[in-house]
């Protein structure tokens, strides 16, 4: 029997006698089957489908075909998996196969109900895993895997069923052994919506120790999650597949039945059986190998106790280079065949990072080896699996001729981030995903500590403010933001909090705390936290307790206001001369900042560390306090407020916006022009000012006038903030007829710095000067500047012929400039370069430049190219984004998403890539009409796991509309004058 749902993806449980297995149908391979059935029977009908139905026979091919061929009919039940893309207004139901057939194995859960209203529940506490013996045998031709797992469990109370996580797996046999003997399950119920299996036993399991043995089978999927396939090209040019795991947050259950929650830690013995010519890796070193006829079996050492999401296995063709860190850890970097030297930089970084963290945490890295491996198909940037960190190729590999300075810096940051997790996340793990920020926020803060130590010339803390801190504030000003600690339940909700709040805001408040309690006490507290809780799980309060014990400061009281409340404060400040004439009094008032300028109801209050600097000594704090109430005052000695300037939040460390009184801002303006203020203070002032402009507290013309004070600016981070502002205003004005006038304004503003930097590096220039040249060239690429265009064309012509090659630091800018100024010929040339490129980084650089074309016909080709087999799924999103950010491409990209929404939801199955795609194809609009269109579309076309991102995009569209209506006339008048 087939219980059919008209949906994009369905999970079909096929049963015969004592066997049950699951087949996922996707629209791309099942439309012919299901459309014909639905046309005859309609949706939600029970249909008996004979095996003779050719399309279904094809869809049900599996390794069990030899057994299946003996039977004429199967009972088939349809149930919905994690990916819930449904037709409009169509309810979701769950059915129990036991109601349809009598079998020892059944699927689904019983009564029909609206799954949107289903309350997600964590696993029962009656059973706890202690140890897994896991064997995986991937078949890289059939793209499936066989597995068996023996799990040592502790039963804590009398039970007749065991509930654990399993998804998209066929459980062949389930047995349990204990002191009272062994028994086979009476029945296995699969619940795809809840992603669990219930193992039901005839005899009661009494409290005690047991071994649960499960033989299972799964598919090496193409979703870049669970145990999945990764396509690569061999040195001989042949397309082949490897196998990779990606389990965070909740996809270990797609590889093996397990207790897939971070608090349910266990030890692991992992065995991989793979073809002889392939490399096999896991968390631990190889303990032994056994050579078989065509395969090799690798048995790995027992792991420390760890969470399931950190288990890892990789199978494929790789080269490696190795070295030992100063503290004796064997470090290897695995690369595609023939590219091992491209792993040299990452190896040098990793061997220095491990000893630094040992010193900083005063705890040694606990595993005997550390592997870093470049994966061809990878959805994230990297994943911190204990002892086997997986990376996108572009986040690990460096080619001296093709990798720009900013990419080398990024690789240093990513390696430092993932290795920080080996302590903060792996050794000590958050108890539940609500506390994800404990992993990610702290790792993001620590990566900057480490890179600053290893590469002081990067001046990385300044870049923290321009790249991390400001991103967090931008997102956190929305009404559809969320607290750092956000209650999450279903896996779809977890995916959405891997965002700038958990990462960037988390890192920003940790930085603020670090400053508040001081470096020495911070390190003591971190050691105390890690020592107390190593190999265990924690809550946020455990971190605060350790830091409070080390510093003797009210850390918990102060920091709970930052992690449990959504948003951040706006601090309005004014100043008066003190009555005794020996200083000044700073008057402060805090309220919740809102990006739309509205006043929030409710009792929002933060404990805000406030500090100030003055013109007497711009680089030193003159006074500090903690603002605990709605209003407060701070005495600043030895200044005259009528002649001296006062800068609030020096170093831009406090996580708040400063709203200066007009007289305070006027006194600061000359210090911006003459650069008396340090760079981070210059950056902080213009960033706060721009946020106030967007919120309607100041005019856009004010920020445009203020930016003209920066014509002589030389600092990369300040220019990074300025270019961000110019980009945002450009998007806004692309909805008006003064877009060209604003291009003239930008060219004038950038002219001095562009001439100072030139096109070629100087012998004595700094790392930040190199980054600045790429930044300014990248901005000019969008402005149709004649000099820039002429030089880019000249260099591009040499690049594609006899040389010299364009500097890697300027290549993206040149590609965009040439394409904007050209047409079909330049587009074809870039595609040729893309197809010839051997390095993923170069392919990325080219594909993300294609959206710069002005011709709508070319942009339509770019969108089609993005979905072609020439572009990996992980990169498709960024190619489309390159189109969506332009005026000409905006509507094309949005319509393209609407036309292909089912394909996108199917391809990405929720997760960060889909949320990025939705964000960038929608949020650059600026009208209530478009806000309503986007809102309505996603109500009718569900994209699970993106709900919050859609709300944020719609809110941003409405904010743009308010901003445009408020300021467009004034901007036009200013630019025309």
Helices and strands: H and E segment counts in the chain: 30, 35
Cis status, amide bond into 799, omega within 30 of 0? no
**Cα–Cα separations (whole angstroms), residue 595 to 346, 937, 960:** 40, 24, 10
Q: How many CB atoms lie within 10 A of CB 96?
A: 17
Crossing angle between the packed helical segments 27-41 and 901-908, to the nearest 10 degrees = 120
Report the distance separating Cα 82 and Cα 847, nearest Å. Answer: 31
Residues 6+ apart with CB under 8 A from 804: 798
CA 776 to chain centre: 27
CB contact at 8 A, 799 and 846? no
- 241, 11, 245: which is closest to 136 by C-alpha? 245
The DSSP 8-state label assigned to residue 502 in this structure reads: I
- 169, 321, 143: which is closest to 255 by C-alpha? 169
The annotation status of 840 as a binding-site residue, yes or no, is no
Tokens of 963: 């901003």
At residue 53, the 3 state secondary structure works out as: coil
CB contact at 8 A, 166 and 195? yes
Report the distance separating Cα 13 and Cα 24, nearest Å. Answer: 9
CB contact at 8 A, 529 and 361? no
Tokens of 540: 């946020």
**Kindly report the CA angle at 924 between 470 and 966, in degrees rounded to 5?**
85
Q: Which of 418, 447, 493, 826 is catalytic?
A: 418
The annotation status of 417 as a binding-site residue, yes or no, is yes
Strand pairing partners for 211? 152, 177
Residues 6+ apart with CB under 8 A from 864: none
CB contact at 8 A, 843 and 837? yes
Q: Which stretches does DSSP call E strand in 103-225?
A: 105-107, 127-139, 144-155, 159-165, 169-178, 181-184, 187-191, 196-205, 208-219
Report the distance separating Cα 639 and Cα 582, nearest Å. Answer: 7
Report the distance separating Cα 235 and Cα 245, nearest Å. Answer: 23
The 3-class secondary structure across 156-171, one letter per residue, is: CCCEEEEEEECCCEEE
**Cα–Cα separations (whole angstroms), residue 794 to 186, 213, 294, 787, 803:** 75, 67, 55, 11, 11
Annotated active-site residue 418? The verdict is yes
At residue 609, the 3 state secondary structure works out as: strand
CB contact at 8 A, 393 and 346? no
CB contact at 8 A, 826 and 818? yes
**Cα–Cα separations (whole angstroms), residue 153 to 128, 205, 249, 488:** 6, 12, 22, 27
Q: How many CB atoms lie within 10 A of CB 42?
A: 11
Q: How many CB atoms lie within 10 A of CB 54?
A: 10
Q: How many CB atoms lie within 10 A of CB 778?
A: 17
The annotation status of 19 as a binding-site residue, yes or no, is no
- 146, 155, 154, 267: which is closest to 214 by C-alpha? 146
Question: Which residues belong to the annotated binding site?
Answer: 417, 421, 440
Question: Which are the catalytic amino acids?
Answer: 418
Question: Which residues belong to the annotated binding site for Zn(2+)?
Answer: 417, 421, 440
């Amino acid at each position: 029997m087939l219980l059919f749902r008209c949906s994009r993806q369905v999970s079909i449980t096929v049963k015969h006698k004592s066997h049950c297995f699951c087949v996922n149908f996707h629209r791309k391979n099942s439309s012919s089957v299901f459309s014909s059935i639905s046309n005859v029977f309609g949706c939600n009908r029970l249909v008996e489908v004979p095996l003779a139905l050719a399309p279904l026979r094809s869809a049900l091919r599996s390794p069990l075909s030899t057994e299946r061929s003996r039977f004429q009919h199967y009972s088939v039940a349809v149930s919905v998996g994690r990916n819930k893309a449904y037709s409009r207004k169509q309810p979701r139901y769950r059915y129990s196969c036991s109601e349809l057939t009598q079998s020892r194995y059944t699927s689904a859960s019983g009564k029909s109900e609206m799954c949107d209203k289903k309350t997600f529940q964590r696993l029962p506490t009656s059973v706890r895993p202690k140890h897994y013996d896991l064997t995986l045998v991937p078949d890289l031709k059939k793209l499936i895997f066989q597995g068996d797992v023996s799990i040592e469990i502790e039963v804590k109370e009398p039970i007749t069923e065991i509930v654990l996580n399993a998804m998209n797996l066929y459980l062949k046999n389930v047995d349990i052994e204990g002191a009272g003997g062994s028994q086979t399950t009476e029945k296995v119920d699969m619940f795809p919506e809840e992603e669990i299996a219930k193992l039901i036993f005839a005899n009661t399991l009494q409290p005690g120790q047991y071994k649960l043995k499960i033989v299972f089978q799964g598919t090496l999927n193409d979703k870049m999650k669970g145990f999945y396939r990764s396509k690569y090209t061999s040195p001989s040019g042949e397309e082949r597949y490897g196998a990779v795991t990606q389990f965070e947050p909740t996809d270990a259950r797609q590889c093996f039945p397990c207790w897939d929650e971070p608090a349910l830690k266990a030890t692991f013995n992992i065995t991989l059986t793979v073809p002889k010519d392939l490399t096999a890796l896991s968390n631990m070193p190889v303990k032994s190998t056994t050579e078989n006829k065509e395969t090799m079996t690798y048995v790995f050492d027992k792991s420390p106790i760890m969470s399931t999401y950190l288990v890892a296995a990789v199978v494929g063709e790789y080269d490696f280079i190795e070295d030992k860190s100063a503290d004796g850890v064997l470090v290897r970097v695995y690369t595609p065949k023939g590219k091992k030297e491209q792993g040299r930089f990452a190896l040098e970084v990793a061997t220095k990072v491990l000893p630094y963290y040992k010193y900083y945490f005063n705890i040694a890295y606990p595993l005997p080896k550390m592997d870093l491996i470049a994966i061809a198909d990878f959805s994230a940037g990297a994943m911190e699996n204990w002892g086997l960190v997986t990376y996108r190729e572009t986040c690990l590999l460096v080619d001296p001729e093709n990798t720009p300075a900013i990419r080398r810096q990024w690789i240093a940051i990513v390696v430092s981030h993932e290795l920080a997790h080996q302590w903060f996340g792996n050794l000590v793990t958050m108890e539940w995903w609500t506390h994800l920020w404990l992993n990610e926020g702290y790792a993001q803060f620590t990566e900057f500590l480490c890179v600053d130590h290893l590469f002081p010339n990067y001046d990385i803390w300044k870049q923290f403010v321009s790249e991390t801190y400001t991103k967090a504030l931008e997102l956190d000003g929305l009404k559809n933001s969320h607290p750092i600690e956000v209650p999450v339940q279903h896996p779809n909700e977890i995916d959405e909090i891997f965002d700038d709040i958990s990462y960037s805001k988390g890192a920003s408040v940790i930085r603020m705390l670090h400053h508040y309690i001081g470096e020495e006490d911070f390190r003591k507290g971190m050691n105390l936290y890690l020592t107390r809780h190593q190999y265990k799980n924690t809550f946020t309060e455990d971190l605060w307790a350790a830091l409070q014990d080390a510093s003797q400061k009210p850390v918990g009281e102060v920091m709970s206001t930052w992690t449990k409340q959504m948003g951040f404060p706006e601090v309005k400040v004014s100043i008066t001369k003190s009555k005794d004439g020996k200083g000044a009094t700073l008057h402060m008032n805090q309220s919740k900042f809102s990006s739309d300028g509205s006043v929030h109801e409710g009792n929002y209050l933060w404990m805000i560390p406030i500090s100030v600097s003055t013109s007497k000594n711009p680089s030193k704090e003159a006074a500090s306090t903690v603002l605990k109430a709605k209003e407060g005052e701070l005495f600043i000695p030895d200044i005259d407020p009528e002649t001296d300037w006062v800068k609030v939040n020096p170093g831009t460390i406090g996580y708040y916006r400063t709203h200066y009184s007009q007289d305070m801002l006027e006194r600061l303006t000359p210090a911006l022009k003459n650069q008396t203020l340090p760079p981070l203070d210059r950056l902080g002032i213009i960033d706060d000012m721009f946020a106030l402009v967007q919120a309607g507290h100041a005019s856009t013309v004010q920020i445009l006038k203020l930016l003209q004070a920066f014509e002589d600016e030389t600092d990369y981070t300040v220019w990074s903030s300025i270019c961000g502002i110019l980009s945002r205003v450009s998007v806004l004005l692309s909805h008006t007829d003064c877009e060209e006038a604003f291009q003239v304004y930008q060219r004038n503003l950038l002219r001095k710095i562009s001439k100072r930097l030139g096109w070629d590096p100087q012998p004595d220039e700094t790392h930040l000067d190199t980054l600045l040249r790429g930044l300014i060239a990248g901005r000019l690429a969008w402005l149709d500047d004649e000099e820039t265009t002429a030089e880019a064309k000249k260099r591009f012509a040499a690049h594609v012929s006899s040389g010299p090659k364009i500097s890697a630091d300027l290549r993206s800018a040149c590609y965009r400039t040439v394409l904007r100024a050209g047409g079909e010929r330049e587009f074809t040339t870039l595609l040729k370069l893309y197809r010839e490129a051997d390095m993923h980084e170069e392919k990325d650089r080219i594909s993300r430049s294609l959206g710069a074309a002005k011709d709508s016909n070319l942009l339509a080709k770019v969108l089609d190219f993005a979905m072609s087999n020439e572009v990996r799924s992980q990169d498709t999103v960024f190619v489309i984004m390159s189109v969506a950010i332009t005026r000409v491409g905006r509507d094309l990209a949005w319509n393209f998403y609407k036309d292909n929404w089912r394909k996108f939801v199917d391809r990405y199955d929720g997760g960060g890539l889909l949320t990025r795609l939705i964000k960038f194809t929608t949020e650059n609009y600026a009208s209530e009409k478009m806000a309503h269109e986007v809102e309505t579309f996603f109500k009718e076309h569900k994209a699970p796991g993106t709900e919050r991102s859609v709300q944020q995009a719609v809110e941003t569209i409405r904010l743009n509309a308010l901003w445009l209506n408020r300021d467009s006339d004034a901007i036009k008048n200013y630019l025309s004058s």
